[in-house]
């Protein structure tokens, strides 16, 4: 029996390594967002500073380990076997849950996930104990309900407070410095730097010394009792130092502040959140030590009173975990996906929005516009003029577009300062707080105050923020529910259930890894294409390649639709519809990015821009034609309506051959980049149009003679019309391509 539990402890530590990987991948957004978004330093430098912060913070996390042992439930009322099953359910759930969030690119709280997993698993076991124990009738005997309520309150409070204070501080800061802040930094840079670095220093001390395993109690007591003195001296010291650095040595103090803040938040992440990943396995190890200390006793009888005592964590475990976190930080692609979500929602400039709009976000924007107009009418005109001048980001946006910066260093510094102060203050009051929630909502608040959420992007940004917040609450619910189910399953099936759950966890991680890699590759290809569109030649080449690819895919998709109708094949019809929907989605993104592409082109690229807009428009219409054929065809088959008649199939065979010939000619013209065959193309088009006209007449005769049903007739006439539209747009696309080539040749000549 002892061997079985040794294996369980080993599984817990293997899961801990996996949890460290998926956890760091999600929480990296907390400390990388500001530095990467403002591009204050090369990516490698930012990562080195963050890595050092993580390693230092790992040694500060010893005092947080009690959360996993006795923060949520009363361990003295559980047996060793029950505790091991509880911890195993928690770790399996955590690995699966965080990996799903990473794959979706959504930031969530590892603190909330681990707490609600512990709560869910503890409630699950408590219910089993209550059902089998007539003496105890309430699960409150086993659960620390006060702590759970504190955490829920902390979630709600942190979301609102962080957003509001972030917005307020950024608004005041921008009123003082504006977007052209270099001149004012000469006079106010020292004070700003003093406040910023003092706040970060206080944050490091308050968050760090409490759990430091290498610091003695006397030093901790001295720092805590002299906090105000340290803060005052720090403010004076850093104000003088930053002013001298800026005035005499021309040091960019904003960059300095952001890099120090990145170190501080990375340290806080490791110090505060390391328990989320290794706290449970270490508690499992402590439980096993308590079990073997009572030789000969049954695992179902030994109570875990030992976990209720004081916690002392070995520095070796903490440093080892820190090293794994650093390796993950450098190698995880999923970490960058989560960071990108936060940066996209807070970037100053417009672009392709990841999230759509929702009814609720539209209502919020409408109400905000009404409120803003009311405030404008109350303010004096001089005040409105001054505010508008301070928030004029037009020149800054042009520079950001060139450098690829998502927001400036002023906002990055405010993000870090406000997050540091809020987390420090909450920690000093012993309030439960999520680092993820605070840093994310501060970033959203500062972006709102900076007018980054303009009329063109507000509904999408708000939808994105609401989606992330909804995901946070879903984290709590899903963590509780899944852990509850898993612990009951393990308690019932024991060894077999454990094997099944471990296999499920491994399978899900492998599958989500493949999905994420596929999505990342597609995203990288898209970015490379966008970066390549910088002049006439690149735009022409891009359009030629894209046009050829789409023309070739039209043939395949069209044939799949028609063949599915012939055979009444639902599976192939659904596959064709899915492929066409993806094509339309890609073309819509191309159309949405038109503004960005046009801005990149030089003045002499006006005709190039015109061609590009025209080509994308024709491609978009071709995509619509395919969709308007595929969706009704699938619905027709799915609803088991009567299939095509032999006469209809014969007519479609002729039409399909002519369309195939037309599209092949179009592809050859694009490939060869010569237009001697364009007359042949138009001739083939005329034949196709004539055949479509005749087929339409024949179908009308069949309708009059009642040879075909209503549903069949509507579908068939729709296919004929969309085939006609497709042929017209295809030829127009080739003509536009010809005009562009001729224009470029004449300009070059």
Q: What is the dihedral of CA 175, 177, 183, 184, to 10 degrees?
A: 90
Which CATH fold would you assign to the domain 533-748? Methane Monooxygenase Hydroxylase; Chain G, domain 1 (1.20.58)
Model confidence band, residue 213 (pLDDT cutoffs 50, 70, 90): low
Task: Kindly report the backbone phi and psi dihedral angles of residue 143, in degrees, each rounded to the nearest multiple of 5, phi listed first.
Answer: -105, 140
pLDDT of res. 402: 65
Cα distance between residue 236 and residue 234, in whole Å: 6
Per-residue CA distances from 656 to 559, 623, 665, 683 (Å): 7, 17, 14, 16
Listed residue (624, 646, 641, 635) closest to 722, CA to CA:
624
Distances (CA, A) of 100 to 26, 124, 335, 436, 511: 10, 23, 12, 17, 10
Domain coordinates of the chain in residue numbers? 2-523, 533-748
Please tell me the distance from the alpha carbon of residue 283 to that of residue 277, in angstroms, as a whole number.
Answer: 11
Report pLDDT digits (tens) over 153-199: 776 788 888 999 999 999 999 999 888 888 888 888 889 989 988 88
What is the pLDDT, as a whole number, of residue 748? 46
pLDDT (tens digit, 9 = 90+) per residue, 448-505?
898 888 777 888 888 888 888 888 788 888 889 999 999 999 888 888 888 898 888 8
3-state secondary structure of 143: strand
pTM of the model: 0.74
pLDDT of amino acid 184:
84
- The pLDDT tens digits of the residues spanning 554-606 come to 888 888 888 888 888 899 999 989 988 888 888 887 777 776 666 655 554 55
């Amino acid at each position: 029996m002892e061997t079985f539990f040794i294996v369980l402890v080993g599984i817990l530590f293997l899961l801990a390594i996996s949890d460290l990987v998926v956890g760091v991948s999600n929480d990296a957004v907390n400390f990388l967002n500001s530095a990467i978004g403002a591009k204050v330093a090369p990516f490698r430098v930012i990562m080195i500073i963050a890595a050092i912060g993580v390693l230092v913070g790992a040694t500060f996390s010893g005092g947080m380990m009690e959360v996993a042992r006795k923060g949520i439930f009363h361990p003295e009322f559980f047996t060793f076997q029950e505790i091991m099953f509880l911890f195993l359910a928690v770790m399996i759930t955590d690995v699966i849950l965080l990996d799903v969030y990473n794959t979706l690119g959504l930031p969530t709280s590892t603190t909330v996930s681990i707490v609600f997993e512990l709560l869910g698993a503890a409630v699950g076991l408590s219910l089993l104990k209550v059902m089998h124990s007539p003496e105890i009738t309430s699960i409150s005997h086993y659960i620390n309900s006060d702590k759970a309520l504190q955490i829920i309150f902390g979630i709600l409070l942190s979301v609102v407070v962080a957003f509001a204070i972030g917005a307020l501080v950024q608004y005041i800061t921008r009123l003082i410095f504006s977007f052209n802040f270099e001149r004012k930094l000469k006079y106010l840079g020292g004070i700003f730097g003093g406040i910023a670095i003092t706040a970060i220093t206080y944050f490091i001390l308050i968050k760090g010394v409490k759990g430091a395993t290498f610091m003695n109690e006397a030093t901790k007591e001295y720092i805590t009792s002299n906090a105000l003195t340290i803060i005052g001296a720090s403010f004076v010291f850093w104000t003088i130092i930053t002013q001298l650095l800026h005035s005499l040595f021309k040091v960019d103090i904003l960059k300095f502040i952001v890099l120090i803040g990145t170190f501080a938040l990375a340290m806080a992440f490791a110090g505060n959140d390391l328990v989320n990943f290794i706290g449970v396995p270490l508690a499992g190890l402590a439980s096993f030590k308590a079990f073997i200390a009572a030789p000969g006793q049954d695992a179902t009888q030994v109570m875990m009173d030992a976990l209720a005592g004081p916690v002392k964590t070995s520095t070796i475990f903490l440093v080892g975990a820190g090293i794994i976190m650093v390796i993950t930080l450098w190698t995880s692609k999923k970490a960058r996906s989560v960071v990108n979500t936060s940066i996209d929602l807070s970037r100053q400039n417009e672009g392709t929005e990841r999230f759509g709009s929702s009814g609720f976000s539209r209502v919020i924007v409408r109400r905000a516009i009404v409120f803003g107009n009311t405030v404008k009418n109350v303010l004096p005109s001089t005040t409105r003029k001054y505010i508008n001048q301070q928030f004029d980001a037009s020149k800054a946006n042009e520079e950001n577009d060139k450098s690829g910066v998502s927001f400036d260093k002023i906002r990055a510094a405010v993000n870090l300062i406000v997050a540091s102060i809020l987390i420090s203050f909450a920690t000093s009051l012993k309030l439960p707080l999520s680092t993820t929630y605070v840093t994310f909502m501060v970033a959203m608040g500062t972006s709102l105050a900076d007018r980054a959420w303009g009329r063109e992007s507000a509904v999408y940004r708000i939808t994105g923020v609401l989606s992330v917040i909804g995901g946070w609450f879903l984290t709590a619910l899903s963590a509780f529910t899944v852990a509850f189910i898993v612990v009951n399953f393990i308690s019932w099936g024991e060894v077999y259930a454990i094997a099944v759950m471990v296999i499920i966890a491994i399978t899900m991680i492998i599958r989500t890894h493949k999905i994420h890699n596929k999505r990342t590759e597609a995203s990288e290809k898209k970015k490379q294409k966008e970066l390549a569109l910088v002049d006439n030649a690149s735009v022409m080449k891009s359009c030629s390649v894209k046009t050829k690819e789409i023309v070739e895919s039209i043939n395949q998709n069209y044939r799949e639709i028609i063949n599915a109708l012939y055979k009444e094949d639902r599976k192939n019809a659904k596959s064709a519809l899915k492929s066409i929907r993806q094509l339309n989605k890609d073309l819509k993104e191309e159309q949405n990015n038109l503004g960005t592409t046009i801005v990149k082109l030089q003045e002499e690229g006006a005709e190039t821009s015109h061609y590009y807009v025209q080509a994308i428009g024709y491609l978009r219409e071709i995509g619509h034609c395919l969709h308007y054929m595929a969706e009704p065809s699938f619905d027709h088959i799915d609803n088991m309506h009567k299939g095509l008649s032999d006469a209809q199939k014969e007519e479609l065979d002729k039409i399909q051959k002519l369309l195939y010939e037309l599209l092949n000619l179009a592809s050859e013209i694009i490939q060869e980049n010569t237009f001697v065959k364009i007359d042949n193309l138009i001739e083939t088009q005329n034949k196709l149009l004539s055949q479509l006209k005749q087929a339409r007449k024949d179908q009308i005769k069949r309708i009059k003679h009642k040879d075909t049903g209503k549903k069949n007739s509507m579908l068939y006439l729709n296919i004929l019309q969309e085939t006609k539209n497709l042929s017209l747009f295809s030829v127009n696309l080739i003509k536009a391509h010809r005009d562009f080539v001729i224009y470029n040749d004449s300009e070059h000549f």
